[in-house]
Structure 1
């Protein structure tokens, strides 16, 4: 990660409804940014990014790591949450207060008070990387929302319905934006279009996405 810090805007978050139970919060990171990025660097140092392989043998273009009680992993045996980092054999780094409080605050703003995530998936997008349309359904607790934080380069977020053939709407996510979805939209199909090239003042030539989940 680029070791740069830039002043954040003082603009207040704005809210955009994406669907029933789903909301986009603009500029939601704000003054927590410095602590969040410092903690994020420490997590990545302890558990470096890697490109996971899907059960079908496809190497994901998005690199990822995790923090929290469990981490999301994928290999030939399937998708799952695991308390142990398969690369190091150690438990995942703990979720620091800066990340946990951001997730809880955004969830509350989105209508989901009391959100206590136990996993944070940290995805790194380089130009050209994408995330295919999918549902987040490996969690036992589907009553809790998904909280997704965007850092770095702008990306196009695709948000659809409960079946794959429902047309997706496209939203431009910028640094500090957070998407929260749950309730009737909890199993909505979503994805990220290929990331365009660029250079962000804070994060450099990449996008980092933090996805907070309650797995049980």
Structure 2
């Protein structure tokens, strides 16, 4: 896979909205390779990666696996009630440290030090997958949401906190990018409108898109 031409042009930090920060290239190539390998391990069990069935009967085009807490529409559980009822894998310490570093980079050291993520959702997108506009609202605390991108770039739509309609902004997220939303933007609607096929960087061992989302649930 060839490196995109614009990869040679620095992409600065961007404050997309109050509390919503895009840090391009936050993860270096070696860290990306490490996370891709970990995602493969997490996807192999104890709960398998699956496509979530929504209450309406629709099936998401994204495939996902949960760590720490199992996410179902629209709640968390310690067991994978929609795929056999097995116990969800523990939340990895490597993601707790990474989440704190991410929040510190986006929001400042004090916020990073107090961040206690305990749930991760690893999403796999093939070239046809999409994610509709939605809020992350099953958590009981207003802690930041951390999003890490690996593999193919995507068009990430970041909207408002009131509804799925405009105003919104489309942001291209590339492999290694960090996006954090917190504070006034914590409950903004967001989604992925398309995957930019052929944009995964060479050498990370993966084609397609992986997204790791970290959350602090406030659950005991």
- Length-normalised TM-score, structure 2: 0.84
Q: Bigger shift: 163-172 or 183-192? A: 163-172
The answer to whether structure 1 residue 39 and structure 2 residue 35 are counterparts is no
Distance 1:160 1:172 in 2: 14
Distance 1:57 1:137 in 2: 21
- Length-normalised TM-score, structure 1: 0.86
- Equivalenced residues, count: 201
The answer to whether structure 1 residue 65 and structure 2 residue 65 are counterparts is yes
Q: Which residue of 1 aligns with 2:171?
A: 171
Moved over 6 A (4+): none
Distance 2:19 2:105 in 1: 12
**After the TM superposition, which residues 1-216 of structure 1 pair with which residues of structure 2 at under 5 Å, given as runs?**
14-30=12-28, 31-46=30-45, 47-68=47-68, 70-74=69-73, 79-86=74-81, 87-111=83-107, 112-113=111-112, 114-141=114-141, 143-164=142-163, 165-198=165-198, 200=200, 201=202, 202-216=204-218
Deviation of 1:26 after TM superposition, in Å, equals 1.2
Whose helix proportion is higher, 1 or 2? Answer: 2
Structure 2 residues without counterparts, runs of 5 or longer: 1-6
Question: What CA RMSD, in Å, does the superposition of the two structures yield over aligned residues?
Answer: 2.0
Cα distance change on mapping 1:72 and 1:60 into 2, 3 Å: same
Cα distance change on mapping 1:38 and 1:203 into 2, 3 Å: closer
Structure 1 residues without counterparts, runs of 5 or longer: 1-8
Distance 1:147 1:195 in 2: 20
